[in-house]
Structure 1
């Protein structure tokens, strides 16, 4: 949880404090746009295989399904290795339907099967949570 908090804080600080009206529309409370934080605990012993699969296959297939990835990080606390990425979605309904499409994609299913056969389990745990910016976020201020 500490890693998650640090990454979210870093992301919020790294955003510009002021911006165009288009940038600030996400600060409304109508829920019309959201971000999704994805955290995968990956196996240290085969993290290179995980990164190859994500870089060479998942990104391409996600793009085909309309995923918009904002940024990606790796966190190694010594106890565990996590792959963290942030997506942006127009709304929760779109997020949910595109994830369903991606997970049912036959090419992705086959790639996961092949990489598991070659390298074993690549992901120990995967979590995703939607993030809706609050109106008093520093990213919403006029500067």
Structure 2
């Protein structure tokens, strides 16, 4: 009897896990970056916490995470991640949200002493077939957002390297794979960009992990083999940014 109960619970947990993974893979993600006007960062944060997040919930926009740069934030920058069932659902939600009379009033009131947002950037993303979609919140860690730009026609080669080798080697050096994407739109880099989040105990441990990773014979052999197969190095640039989650971020 106990054996049957254990098997039943295992199957239930497995089904939920598969369903959650499928849901994550089928969603559209939007990574949004805001730059606050000079002296308005706290005003912008207050508007998100006191008002904006409620409207996101009302209009079925799922907030996955919300982050601020580690250290001195010279750019007055914040980053957050939304997800939607589809691009059509996203456009419908934003259209209704921006027309909401209460939201319009909030925006007007927040800008009485000057506009609080200087610039907004947005990129639409879909998960890769190897993305772990590890969106469990565990706290006490930092997030690293990494963006790779490949040479022409070599994104499939880079994805193959990550799929078959890189993620596993990351884990060996204490780095946690969270989620991996490519852009959905050509003009935003669907043919040459890989974007992903890792987590570390601290920025210092993240830098140390990458140093050890880069020096490891296993990684050097994988890198050499992938570049020999492509006939060249795979990437043009690699950008790394470290973030801490906001107090109200669902993912910590």
TM-score, scaled to structure 2? 0.43
**Which position in structure 2 is the counterpart of 1:68?**
62
- Aligned partner (choices 118, 127, 131) of residue 124 of structure 1: 118
Give how far 1:20 is off. 1.5
Match of 2:17 in 1: 20
Are 1:45 and 2:39 an aligned pair? yes
Higher strand share: 2
- Higher-Rg member (1/2): 2
TM alignment of 1:86-125, pairs within 5 A:
86-117=81-112, 119-125=113-119
Distance apart, 1:110 and its partner CA: 1.1
- How far residue 61 of structure 1 moved from its aligned partner, in angstroms, is 1.7
Distance 1:139 1:61, change over 3 A: closer
Instruction: Report the CA distance between 1:39 and its aligned residue.
Output: 0.7
Q: Distance in 1 between matches of 2:23 and 2:57?
A: 22
Which of the two has greater helix per residue? 1
Q: Distance in 1 between matches of 2:74 and 2:55?
A: 31
Higher RCO (C-alpha 8 Å, min separation 6): 1
Q: RMSD of the TM alignment (CA)? A: 2.4
Q: Structure 2: where are the runs of 5+ without partners?
A: 1-15, 135-162, 169-252
SS of the residue corresponding to residue 20 of structure 1 reads: helix
- Answering whether residue 71 of structure 2 is matched by residue 79 of structure 1, we say no
Aligned to 1:12: none
Instruction: State the TM-score, normalizing by the size of structure 1.
Output: 0.73
Q: What runs of 5+ residues in structure 1 fail to find an aligned partner? A: 1-18
Give the length in aligned residue pairs: 120
**C-alpha separation between the residues in 1 aligned to 2:106 and 2:93?**
18
